[in-house]
Amino acid sequence: MSEKTQKLTLIQGITQALRQEMERDAHVLILGEDVGRDGGVFRATDGLIEAFGDERVMDTPLAESGIIGISVGLAAVGYRPVAEIQFMGFIYPAMNQILAHVARFRHRSRGRIPMPLVIRMPYGGGIHAPEHHSESYEAMLANTPGLTVVIPSTPYDAKGLLTAAIRSDDPVIFMEPKRIYRSFREDVPATDYEVPLRQAVVRRTGTDVTLIGYGAMMRPVMEAAEFLARESVSAEVIDVRTVMPLDIETILASAEKTGRVVIVHEAPGRNGFGAELSALIAERALLHLLAPVQRVTGFDTVFPFAMMEDHYLPHRGRIVAAVQRTLAF
Amino acid sequence: MSEKTQKLTLIQGITQALRQEMERDAHVLILGEDVGRDGGVFRATDGLIEAFGDERVMDTPLAESGIIGISVGLAAVGYRPVAEIQFMGFIYPAMNQILAHVARFRHRSRGRIPMPLVIRMPYGGGIHAPEHHSESYEAMLANTPGLTVVIPSTPYDAKGLLTAAIRSDDPVIFMEPKRIYRSFREDVPATDYEVPLRQAVVRRTGTDVTLIGYGAMMRPVMEAAEFLARESVSAEVIDVRTVMPLDIETILASAEKTGRVVIVHEAPGRNGFGAELSALIAERALLHLLAPVQRVTGFDTVFPFAMMEDHYLPHRGRIVAAVQRTLAF
Amino acid sequence: MGYSTIFQGETRRLDILDMNGKVDRKAMPDIDQDQLMALYRSMRRMRTFDEKALKMQRQGRIGTYGSLRGQEAAQAGLAVHLSEDDDWLIQSFREHGILMARGVPMHTIYAYWKGDERGNLADRGIRCLPPSVPVGSQLLHATGIGIGLRKRGLPGIAVGFAGDGATSEGDFHEALNFAGVFRARTLFYIQNNGWAISVPFQKQTAAKTIAQRGHAYAVPAMQVDGNDVLAVYEASRIATDHIRNNHGPYLIEAETFRMGDHTTADDHTRYRSPDLVAHWAARDPIDRMRKFLIKEKILSHADDEAMGESLTAEIEAAVKDLESMPPPDPMSIFETMYAKKPWYLEEQQAMLRSELGSRAQESGS
Amino acid sequence: MGYSTIFQGETRRLDILDMNGKVDRKAMPDIDQDQLMALYRSMRRMRTFDEKALKMQRQGRIGTYGSLRGQEAAQAGLAVHLSEDDDWLIQSFREHGILMARGVPMHTIYAYWKGDERGNLADRGIRCLPPSVPVGSQLLHATGIGIGLRKRGLPGIAVGFAGDGATSEGDFHEALNFAGVFRARTLFYIQNNGWAISVPFQKQTAAKTIAQRGHAYAVPAMQVDGNDVLAVYEASRIATDHIRNNHGPYLIEAETFRMGDHTTADDHTRYRSPDLVAHWAARDPIDRMRKFLIKEKILSHADDEAMGESLTAEIEAAVKDLESMPPPDPMSIFETMYAKKPWYLEEQQAMLRSELGSRAQESGS
Ligand SMILES: Cc1ncc(C[n+]2csc(CCOP(=O)(O)OP(=O)(O)O)c2C)c(N)n1
Ligand SMILES: Cc1ncc(C[n+]2csc(CCOP(=O)(O)OP(=O)(O)O)c2C)c(N)n1
Ligand SMILES: [Mg+2]
Ligand SMILES: [Mg+2]
């Protein structure tokens, strides 16, 4: 990139996108629990209330249905609310508002009342958090027509995807991999930019097997690819980025090329988003498949307490083992 | 059957299961909106308040989170609540209670507080109901470890599965295909019996293709099978019955035999339960597949208003066309 | 130390026009004869609309329908205070009276109940949200709109509608609480018609009134006889003035009665006694206003009859409009899900198009 | 006709022991010296437990921890009225004080905060639900249990705990409303510590108190100085008697202050001034009870010191118990999801078993 860049963490990318979009468009509002004075429990909204005041950065009462429900109203009168749900495990009280209203408003109003609403939330495990703080529920949202579900895995994408989400006239569920909020930095342009929604990206090209992941799982996925490279297995790696509506072209092109696919996510396997991916690949690239698609996912259990979460979360070894199964098929 | 039988509709099977289980076990309670005097808006609980009184058949305030939340408490002190959600479209306000508590209580209490709770609800389209009255959201529940999701398609199964659900020590989501509540009768034993959970059933044996469906979709599925028979295509038909935990054996056995599979459900396709079925079949029976698995599902749109719902719902023609695609592959 | 009182509150109710058409002169609002007649006509118009809808439902010309019979005063008395240009209606599903009074074309309301999505959004401007079926959930939208109107410094107010049953949902609580905290320009307008389908208000809550709940959120509140169009007029005037003057949200409980079935899919005789229905029939909002207007010589029997005829003609015209709508386009199912259609919706649409094409061919067209 | 009053209500607060250790003799409960000492000791035991937990968290011996410092009176004064045999505790996540006072072994509470699921269910009987993290949701369980206890004619009561923030959730509303309708044997016990993480109570609602919300559900309610263990004792006695005597549910708001961070993951200096914290430090529940006991010559300085030593010894023993627990069995992840394990859990368990097996082999065991 020729323009000015800074080294940012993923969460800094998010904060910067919020700040720049608020500067750019006075209709952008932030609301949620502890997003003001406290700057959010992860500090994603740090400094924003100081910059924009409490009419644009609203600390709300502790009620998720309320947060999303009033966001619907705010969007109806022309605002572009960015609501924070403190952890994905606490999105359930807002499910009625999200599924019965947010996702459907454009359609129910025959296109006249779109919902330019972003619902941000940290998701996923790996930080030794208490119960209900490690959930990944992209699948149930991905079964809901009308929603766009986005999960970045890098600082650059986090900023660009969030910018695109805020500018989108459709509601976006923006899931933030809190495990890697601060785990690395990368060059991020200082000015605003969009990373387009609905586009997956090939993170690494390869010929023997396709690894598909997103969010915090990109790290063990890339580690697995590197490990495999040392064993002379060439893995192509796809970062889904937009879970819904998903980018079928990028995924099928790779699956057709390698004929072997391993899908990785940390949510429970049964009826997880991996099911849709696996189904689509087998349905549309059957004759290219050299081995059954493999899914490496969280167990179909409650997400365990801190002492046990490392057993639960997919890791390099488990991904490599799945690749080896597809190679041995 | 040698024992005494009656000709019952599906909803009569449900009412009878409720009545017999209430007679059998004083811990069984019914609660929900309009389940008392009114007998439920579909009359599933007709006559029960007269028989058992309002301490065992509780008309509740209009609040779904409340209904499920107090059911959790009632179960904790030894009751076996059977809660009714008036339509599946109104389950969302209860999602927090279902996903964060009902599904997890056994685990969270290390097995000491099971949740012998049944949540009944009519689901699905085809009765020209108002908006939000036609939803089918089995998929998001099927992504939730700890739940059992059951969908009967016949009066016999409705009674036997509900009986088994009430006797189960685990929470069961019991989805009732309201479209066929009264559309046909069949012989149902007068006394109580269980149809085991977690078992699919082969409704028709065949050799050329496997059709998989459940609930109200069994009717167009069977019609398709009959139509195909006239065209000399022998279709095997599986009724899933328990969506989660699903009966992989019955499904794989059939898929391996026929090599061609068409899955039918009325919920939206993307990340619907068909995705899990399709994925599992391709993952575990790849070498038997003679053609890609096909999914025939509701569109990935809001469920349309009455005047348009016939376009939305899978019908015989759409299923037959999918079968023809697998045959032509 | 010891015991101290930390809260004291009271809640008032307003009654003006009694069941016999007598008014409390002291409480009478400042309102002229034309306005009185307009209120009466508005109620009769709703009733005529409603009766026609029930008839059409029986004839299969529309689908399941929710009657508002008995609630006309509760809707007409409020409607006159709302501006078509500025104010927002956030309806539940029994507010056709309000919509009609606010100028929404009647055939679009019928279309909604016919199962035609073109009836989902009133086409008289975007300041009316589509009906909200998930009970209570719309109240939060009313709060959000009311907050937005305040933020933007706009003159309008938001009116969120709900029934007595809806007040049991958590969203009622969150909507009033957020409105109190963020000083929403929102009127919460609860028509307490005594029943949530088969559940009487006494089983909905142990509290005696809904209005008293305002104290839980520091939201001022009033109960009003919802079958008394003059009291509704006056209470609504007070509440809307309060909100327009930036004094924050307001809660009105209009006590009324649903005279018929919950919807045409219901049978209210299963859970209500004829006596109870007769009790309320004697308190009909239109009858008592008619008695008053005739007693006051504002209305003659002949005028009354002429009004009936003109309303019938208006409604028949609306039915004609309804029935001359071209059939909805099946392709519209796919058009408004997203700003830009995803690939799978393109596929699904193509499939439906080809199905419809081959069906059209089969039928020889 | 005209205006009439349909609701009048008031809400009271109880204060007995002030910040200087002076009591209001008239309001003083009927309580002997041993009981006074037991209350004091109970509070000190909680504080000692809490201080040790914070220390262990800093040392990495347990995980994220939520301190209850400042809320000891609010928990100790209630606990003495609850029977271990009959009553149910439906906790949120800051009730370790109550748990300890009710006989839950302290090492299991530490285990919970260590991220060990064996700490999730207090092993002193099933009448204590595991901590509920989704804020407010547990209040409905308290209502359900209270309804069940009434139905079964059991002597126990259910106590549902929540904080001030939790009262904004819809579930708070539904829980109190259902409790009122079904006459639940439930005490709703709200510790209003002034903050929901960084959000002060004044932004949580426009209402001045939580106790006044009882009027919305016809649930009797009282506010109490939650840093005054004698007032808490007396209010809890009144409330629990009320419920035990089958008069329906009760709501207590104990006004208190969280002295430290929300949890160890929080930094309260970001949103609270040192002045505010100092204001509350001067109102410490333990200090004022100590002043009172010393003034009354119930407690000597020497006894007080001895008590501290014995409590420290007790807590150190609990830490030893914690740290001598064998590591949790990874296989337990799969064991309690269902009464009977589904096939895919069998498969996943087998996979984990073989992973652990090969790792054990690699490490040469
Ligand atoms: C969340 C939700 N639960 C249940 C229903 C089904 N339902 C529709 S209307 C109704 C009763 C509503 O009562 P009330 O709020 O008093 O309004 P009214 O019908 O009396 O106008 C019920 C239970 C629904 N639409 N939404
Ligand atoms: C439904 C839900 N939303 C958000 C959270 C995150 N969270 C945990 S505690 C807390 C604040 C709770 O405040 P309060 O109820 O006053 O209890 P306190 O922590 O003061 O004891 C929040 C927002 C949660 N656990 N559950
Ligand atoms: Mg009602
Ligand atoms: Mg608090």
Q: Which of C210, C232, C221 is nearest to C288 (CA)?
A: C232
Task: Report pLDDT for D359.
Answer: 77
Say if residue C277's pLDDT is above 70: yes
Once rounded to an integer, what is the mean pLDDT over residues B249-263?
98
Share in percent of chain C as helix, strand, coil (round to 5)? 50, 15, 35
Closest approach atom of ligand 2 to CA D94: 21
CB atoms within 10 A of CB B232: 7
What residues of chain A score a pLDDT lower than 50? Answer: 1
Rounded distance between C-alpha atoms, residue D106 and residue D53, angstroms:
11
Q: What is the pTM of this model?
A: 0.98
Q: How far apart are the first and last CA of chain A?
A: 43
Is A7 within 8 Å of chain B by CB? Answer: no
List residues near ligand 2 (CB under 6 A): A 33, 62, 64, 86, 90, 93; D 94, 133-135, 162-166, 193, 195-197, 258, 262
CA pair distance C67, C49, nearest whole angstrom: 10
Ligand nearest to the CA of D172: 2
Q: Is there a contact between A284 and B292 if contact means CB atoms under 8 Å apart?
A: yes
Scan residues 137-196 of B and list those with Cβ closer than 8 Å to A.
Answer: 137, 139-140, 142-146
Single-letter code of the amino acid located at B152: P
Token pair 């065209």 is found at B231
Q: What pLDDT, in 10s, does the model give residues B265-309?
A: 999 999 999 999 999 999 999 999 999 999 999 999 999 999 999
Neighbours of C361 (CB within 10 A): 9
* Whole-number pLDDT of residue B196: 98
Are D107 and D88 a contacting pair, CB within 8 Å?
no
Ranges of chain D whose pLDDT falls below 70: 122-126, 362-365
Q: How many residues does chain A have?
A: 329
Which residues of chain B does A132 touch, with a Cβ-Cβ cutoff of 8 Å? 100
In angstroms, the separation between the Cα of residue A3 and the nearest Cα of chain D is 35
A277, B282 Cβ separation under 8 angstroms = no
Chain B contacts in chain A segment 48-107 (CB below 8 A): 65, 89, 92-93, 95-96, 99-100, 103-104, 107
Pocket test for ligand 1, best of B37, B42, B62, B91 (most atoms within 8 A of CB): B62
ipTM greater than cut 0.95: yes
From ligand 2's centre to the CA of D175, what distance in Å? 17
Beta strands of chain B (E only): which ranges? Answer: 5-9, 28-32, 57-59, 80-84, 118-123, 148-150, 172-177, 185-189, 201-204, 209-213, 235-239, 242-244, 261-268, 294-298
Min Cα–Cα distance to chain C from B14, Å: 20
Q: How far apart are CA A319 and CA A305, in angstroms?
A: 22
Q: What is the pLDDT of residues D306-321, one digit of tens each?
A: 999 999 999 999 999 9
Q: Whose CA is nearest to atom 20 of ligand 1?
A: C196
Q: How far is A174 from chain B (nearest CA, A)?
A: 18
Q: Give the model's confidence band at B1: pLDDT under 50 very low, under 70 low, under 90 confident, else very high.
A: very low
A133 sits in which H/E element: none
Name every chain C residue with its beta carbon within 8 A of the beta carbon of D11. 5-8
Which residues numbered 95-124 in D keep a CB inside 8 Å of some CB on B?
117-118, 120-121
Element (H, E) at D225: strand D221-225
* B82 alpha carbon, distance to own chain's centre: 15
pLDDT band of residue C363 (cuts 50, 70, 90) is low
For B265, the 3-state DSSP assignment is strand
The verdict on whether B101 is a catalytic residue reads no
Kindly indicate the confidence band of residue C125, based on its pLDDT and cuts at 50, 70 and 90: low
Question: Which of A63, A6, A7, A9 minimizes the C-alpha distance to A32?
Answer: A63
User: Are the Cβ atoms of A62 and D270 closer than 8 angstroms?
Assistant: no
| Subunits close to D (at least 3 CB pairs below 8 A) | A, B, C
Q: What is the band of C364 on the pLDDT scale with cuts at 50, 70, 90?
A: low
Asked whether the beta carbons of residue B108 and residue A131 sit closer than 8 angstroms, the reply is yes
DSSP 8-state symbol, C264: T
| Closest CA of chain D from C27, distance in Å | 5
B202 vs B247: CA distance, rounded Å? 11
* Count of CB atoms situated within 10 Å of the CB of C332: 16
pLDDT of residue A1: 46
Task: For residues A125 and A309, give the distance between their C-alpha atoms in angstroms, rounded to a whole number.
Answer: 7
Mean pLDDT along residues C68-85: 96
**Could you tell me how many residues make up chain B?**
329
Tokens of D92: 């949120």
Q: Which of A55, A73, A110 is facing C141, going by the closest CB pair?
A: A73
Ion ligand 4: residues, Cβ under 5 Å: D 163-164, 193, 195-196
- Name all chains with 3 or more CB-CB pairs below 8 Å to chain B: A, C, D
Intra-chain end-to-end CA distance of chain C, in Å: 88
pLDDT for D121 equals: 72
Cα of D204 to ligand 2 centre, how many Å?
Answer: 12
Q: What is the spatial distance between Cα B274 and Cα B269, in angstroms, rounded to a whole number?
A: 7
**C142-183 pLDDT tens trace:** 999 999 999 999 999 999 999 999 999 999 999 999 999 999
C-alpha B33 – ligand 1 centre gap (Å): 9
pLDDT of residue A165: 98
* C-alpha of residue D191 to centroid of ligand 4, in Å: 7
Nearest CA to ligand 1 atom 12: C196
Cα separation values, D286 from A221, D13, D51, D55, D257, Å: 53, 21, 14, 20, 13
Nearest protein CA to atom 17 of ligand 2, as residue: D163
Tokens standing for residue C214:
């305002």
Whether residue B121 contacts residue B91, with contact meaning beta carbons closer than 8 Å, is answered with: yes
Beta bridge partners, C225, equal C255
End-to-end CA distance of chain D: 89
Atom 7 of ligand 1, residue of closest alpha carbon: C135
Dmax (CA) of chain D: 90
Q: How far apart are CA A163 and CA C234, in angstroms?
A: 49
Interface touch B299/C135, C-beta < 8 Å:
no
pLDDT at C126 over 70: no
Question: Which pLDDT score is estimated for B2?
Answer: 56
Cα–Cα distance, D252 to A218 (Å, whole number): 49
Other Cβ atoms within 10 Å of D82 Cβ, number: 21
Contact B123, B136 (CB under 8 A): yes
Is A276–B292 a contact, with Cβ atoms under 8 angstroms apart? no
- Interchain pair D333, A304: CB under 8 A: yes
Measured in angstroms, how far is the CA atom of residue D164 from the centroid of ligand 4?
A: 5
Q: What is the mean pLDDT of chain C?
A: 96
Angle of CA points C194, C200, C206, to nearest 5°: 100
**Cα B1 off chain centre by:** 25
How much is the pLDDT for B277?
98
**A113 CB-near residues (< 8 Å, 6+ apart):** A75, A76, A105, A106, C121, C126, C129
- Cis-peptide, bond into residue C285, ω within 30° of zero: no
Per CB-CB distance under 8 Å, the chain C contacts of A168 are 339
Tell me which H or E stretch contains C105: none
| Nearest by CB: B92 against A96, A108, A300 | A96
> Could you identify the atom of ligand 1 that is nearest to the CA of residue C71?
21
CB distance C74 to C134 below 8 Å: no
D184 and D248 in contact (C-beta within 8 Å)? yes
* Site residues for ligand 1, CB cut-off 6 Å: B 33, 62, 64, 86, 90, 93; C 94, 133-135, 162-166, 193, 195-197, 258, 262
CB C114 within 8 A of CB C63: yes
Whole-angstrom distance, CA of residue A2 vs CA of residue A187? 11
- Distance from the Cα of B90 to chain C's closest Cα (Å) equals 7
CA distance A210 to A234: 9
**Angle between the D33-58 and D229-244 helix axes, to the nearest 10 degrees?**
110
What is the strand order of the sheet A235-239 is part of? A201-204, A235-239, A209-213, A261-268, A294-298
Amino acid C168 reads: S
Q: Give the mean model confidence (pLDDT) for residues C247-274.
A: 97
SS3 C230: helix
